[in-house]
Structure 1
Amino acid sequence: MNLLHEPWMPVRRRDGSRAWIAPNQLSDPDILAFDADRPDFNGALAQFSVGLLQTSTPVDSGVAWDERFENPPSAVVLSEWFAPFAEAFELDAKGARFMQDFSLTADEGSFNEIGALLIDAPGENALKNNSDHFVKRGRVSGMCAHCAASAVLTLQINAPAGGVGNRTGLRGGGPLTTLLLSMPLDGQPRSLWDDLWLNVRDQRGFLALCGDAGKSALHFRFPWMSDIAAIQRAGGETAPVQVHPHHVFWAMPRRIRLDFETVASGDCDVCGRSSERLVQRYVSKNYGFNYKGPWNHPLSPYYEATQGWLPMHPQPGGFAFRHWLGWALGQVADKKKQRCASVVQHALADRRGQLRLWAFGYDMDNMKARCWYEATLPLYGLADCDADAQGWVGSQVDIWIAGADLAASYLRSAVKDAWFSSEARGNFSAIDATFWSSTEAAFYDQLRDLIDLARQNLEGDMLAVRESWHRVLIITVDKLFDTIFVGAGQVERQRPQRVAKAFRQLKKNMRGPKVRQALSLPALATEKPTSRNPAAEAAAI
């Protein structure tokens, strides 16, 4: 089964129906989005498609890119693009197989149930300790070949820490991915092609990002086309200079191989479709590709650490507007320098129009998946702003988020003081999550207006905007404390004096100098204290 010819990718059509397509149908204008049964599969299929298009496209200029955005290539043209790489996309061949170890045999490795390919499957410790309370064992015992291909792809992209020698992905375990999306046109959603092509750039520019474009042999792009030793010595590492730039899309940290010899017939436990070839197990072995060095994956934002720039990962609490600046424009604050994904940076410099950002990924605790997060963040007309205007937008948003961060901290502390004490330990992330979601609409309303000003090279009254944002923060934290968290509790189970004290302190903090300083607001004028000395008062009279 060749993944360039097989209709294995589930999609949603414009009429709402579901279909399975081959990659050469990606430019069909009636296809709107991927429609897999698992959200992580959708994310992986999007990255597969972007990677395939970037690997194969002959487009090498901005003008040619614009032409393909306005006039997508036909299925015949896409087939011509993909043809030179067809042998790398065999899923069940005797030799090289898509994203599977070139030479691994059953004698060398160990068999695993096919369900273990899924990122959220319970691990060995969970099974041993009988702690698989929420994600049960045995849910997936057979996958059709289509879902098995998606599972292998998803694992290699997100590969978490998994014991001795089980390597993480090129971006670490559970990376954060940000993809550009188009905005609806005349009230109608744009096609899947429009969304995918936004994340592909001219070939000449891409090849200059990371890696050695001179390494043209197929296995430098697709590492499963030869034994691991052809790139990485035993016990060694794989750095960008050892492979072709396209390798970033096809990294293969895990040594696995699907078992197509022992199959069954029945319904796939993932998609529910009937199949005569349900894959039930796979062979695995540790010590695959060990990715180290200055990798720059085009679809991930990075942050600066002591060891250099590292890819970002989803964290507990999910996604909120506090992430907008880092993911859209990057941040230059001394203690938290971030840069947006290079595909986003390129789009904001070279594209035009209304765009969105699709962010997704697993929040991982070593090998355990805590949660899958995804969100769509508006960029509005940011791409229509020049570099100076974008920098100005970033500086204003940085101030707003600094004030919101402080407000969230004050709210959390006040609720803890009212319930327990400031030293109380535990998971209070629900407080933060509620705060960020409650202020999100106001933030994006202000952001849209700010970007509209920037597009016109107007500055407006930013002091008034920050004052307005300050009022939003005050009203929100007061309401959340008084009606959602503390005030909603049973009176007989609370200590009114402690609650009142915490609320007074919250009000004082939110109106105090630290929040005003964070929001770059002028200090409030204070009255000169009156004398309390009766003799002095009498003398004055």
Structure 2
Amino acid sequence: MSLLAEEWIPVLCRDGRMAWIAPHQISDPDVVALAANRADFNAALMQLLIGLLQTTTPVKNESDWVEWNDIPPSADVLQQWFSSVGGAFVLSGDGHRFMQDAHMSGGAECSIDALLIDAPGGSAVDKNTDHFVKRNTVQSMCPHCAATALFTLQTNAPAGGAGHRTSLRGGGPLTTLLVALQRRSLWHDIWLNVLPQREFMQHAGDAKKTAPHFTFPWLADITAIQAPGGETQPMQVHPHHVFWAMPRRIRLDFGEAREGVCDICKRVSTQLISRYFTKPQGLNYKGPWRHPASPYYETKEGWLPVHPQPTGFSYRNWLAWVLGSSQSKKEVQAATILSYFVAERRLRPSSDIRLWISGYDMDNMKPRCWYETTFPLYSLPRDSRTARKNLQELIKRLLEAAELAAFYLRQAVKHAWFGELDARGDLSFVDKAFWDTTEIDFYQLLKAAMHSVSMEASEQEGFPQFAMRFGEKWHTALFAKSLELFSKDIVGLTSQGNPRRVAEAHRRLRGALTGKTIRDVLHLPVMEKRVSSSDPA
């Protein structure tokens, strides 16, 4: 069974129909999006198709890329591109299999649902704690869903016990991909994330390692890349290997396949799979890896990929994941795909593109949540380094002020409810309400700031005046929204606390929001005397 010949990828068509296509059909203009039944499958399939194109496309430079963006390749052309890697995409049989250990014999038997990252583990079943994701809901998969689940696991692999490795980017990495705001076609969304080969080959890896198993590790014994008990560093493999990493040693069991309905896609299959076998000691990825679809942050040990956190995604992450930042003494670099887009891609207008962000928030082996959202990019400054620097500095100040306002609000709620008591508890819902409530104001201000930067206003009027102009607007929004949340949505809706304590907490909140600290962050003049009105200025 070849995954390059089978029609196995679920997609949405322009007329609303759902269909299944082969990889070489992704340039069909009627195909507009992926349509798997699981969100993590859609994210994984997108990465698989990007990796397939990045590995096979002959596009050498940006001019070549633009030609295929304007006029997508035909299905015949794509088949020609993919034909060189056909042997790596065979899912079943006695030989090499897609994403499976070719030389593994025996191993621990696992039910097929264990391929799903959110499936309840043995401990959850034993303790009867599988409340939200129930056991035995997925008892068999068709080969197509099993292939998707397998790729999803290898790409996001969390810790799996002794010797069961995490993915090349660690357990549950954050993935950021470019997509069109208005659906043009699936091809164009995928193609946005493909780099010219000349650019891609500059990334971690050894381009001279052209033997197929240095790209697709399942085409040889694991020892061809990594010594027993050893590590896999970037220079041990080809740069394209980053898309096809295989930290887990797995072998799907087709021996007892039967006919029936797949528990995931609900289609009838003659080869339902109910189990697989696994062994420890897969490829152990260490060293300076750089996956092109993940932002990275700097540590004493080097650059590490960003992972989702329990707080989820909000505009507080926009600067770091879109332009990179050095907030909170932590240097963050945007994903290579996005950095290249900002610096080199001349698509106009860039406001038609958004950043699709997704990933599992993992607590070691346990998935706490799947997060997914999109960030607007608006009209990112491209040509002027000064304009981009001004924009980064402005957004940094806006976010620092928002962090302060969220802290002030949280402290005020705590004081209103508990007074001076050293009460402990989870007040994260206050932060969540704050970031959600101020999101629209932030993006409206961001869009206006970008327009101002594109018109070179920040350079003409000088950065201090530019920053002050937007800082005043943001300060006004933070003041109004914070007080509204306190008075109407949080403290005002509860019966806790006494009126005097609530009034004192409200007074403190107003004072903090109009005080020197937050105004200094926004580089606003400190008020000598506060006017007794609802306006902070």
Query: Given the two structures, how large is their TM-score scaled by the length of structure 1?
Result: 0.94
1:453 lines up with 2:447 in the alignment: no
Kindly state the Cα deviation for residue 391 of structure 1 after the two structures are TM-superposed.
1.9
When the two chains are superposed, the root-mean-square deviation of aligned CA atoms in Å is 1.4
Which residue number corresponds to residue 512 of structure 2?
Answer: 509
User: Structure 1 385/414 Cα, relative in aligned 2: closer, same or farther at 3 Å?
Assistant: farther
Shift of 1:395: 1.1
- For structure 1, the 5+ residue unaligned runs are 528-541
- 1:67 corresponds to which residue? 67
* SS at structure 2 position matched to 1:382: coil
Deviation at 1:498, TM superposition (A): 2.5
Q: Distance in 2 between matches of 1:254 and 1:454?
A: 47
Q: Is the 8 A contact 2:172 2:307 kept in 1?
A: yes
1:334 Cα deviation from its structure 2 partner: 6.7
- Within-5 A mapping of 1:315-354: 315-333=309-327, 335-352=329-346, 353=348, 354=350
Q: Is the 8 A contact 2:382 2:388 kept in 1?
A: no
Structure 2 residue aligned with 1:55 = 55
> Any idea what the Cα deviations from partners look like across 1:12-40, whole Å, max 9, x if unmatched?
01111101111001111111110000000
Aligned match of 1:237: 231
Q: Does 1:252 align with 2:252?
A: no
Pairwise mapping of residues 290-329 of structure 1 onto structure 2 (< 5 A)?
290-329=284-323
Partner of 2:141: 143
Q: Percent identity?
A: 52
Contact 2:468 2:522 in 1 (8 A): no
Question: Which segments of structure 1 move beyond 6 Å, counting only runs of 4 or more?
Answer: none
- CA drift of 1:480 comes to 0.7
**Is the 8 Å Cα contact of residues 167 and 247 (structure 2) preserved in structure 1?**
yes
Structure 2: give runs of 5+ residues left out of the alignment: 531-537
Shift of 1:41: 0.1
Larger Rg: 1
1:82 matched to 2:82? The reply is yes
Q: What's the counterpart of residue 424 of structure 2?
A: 425
Cα deviation, residue 418, structure 1: 2.0
**1:21 aligned to 2:24?**
no
User: Partner letter of residue 410 of structure 2?
Assistant: R
Per-residue deviation, residues 387-441 of structure 1 (Å, max 9, x unmatched) = 3322221111111111001111111122122223674333322211111111111
CA distance in 2, matches of 1:495, 1:264: 67
Larger deviation: 303-312 or 265-274? 265-274
Number of aligned positions between the proteins: 519
* Structure 2 contact 327–396 (Cα < 8 Å) conserved: no
Alignment partner, residue 182 of structure 1: 180
**Does 2:409 match 1:415?**
no
Distance change in 2, residues 1:260/1:383 (3 Å): farther
The answer as to whether partners of 1:142 and 1:280 remain within 8 angstroms in 2 is: yes
Give the C-alpha shift of residue 385 in structure 1.
4.7
Alignment partners' CA distance in 2, 1:264 and 1:454: 62
Within 1, Cα distance between the matches of 2:422 and 2:262?
50
Query: Deviation string for 1:312-365 (max 9, x for gaps)?
Result: 000012110111101110003471110000110000011133221000000000
Q: Distance in 2 between matches of 1:236 and 1:132?
A: 36
Matched, 1:521 2:524: yes
- How far does residue 274 in structure 1 lie from its aligned partner after superposition? 1.4
Displacement, 1:55? Answer: 0.3
The reply to whether residue 204 of structure 1 matches residue 198 of structure 2 is yes
Q: Is structure 2 residue 116 aligned with structure 1 residue 118?
A: yes
Whole-angstrom distance in 2 between the partners of 1:385 and 1:58: 28
Q: Secondary structure at the match of 1:437?
A: helix
What's the offset of the Cα at 1:520? Answer: 1.6
The answer on whether the counterparts of 1:385 and 1:454 sit within 8 Å (CA) in structure 2 is no
- The one-letter amino acid paired with 1:515 is I
What amino acid does structure 2 have at the position aligned with 1:487? G
Give me the whole-angstrom Cα distance separating, in 1, the residues matched to 2:383 and 2:452: 10
Letter in 2 for 1:335: K
Aligned partner letter, 1:152 = L
Q: Aligned letter for 2:454?
A: R
Deviations 1:42-87, CA, capped at 9 Å, x for gaps: 0000000110000000000111111011011100000000001000
Q: Secondary structure, in 3 states, of the residue corresponding to 2:110?
A: strand
Which range moves more in the overlay, 318-327 or 451-460?
451-460
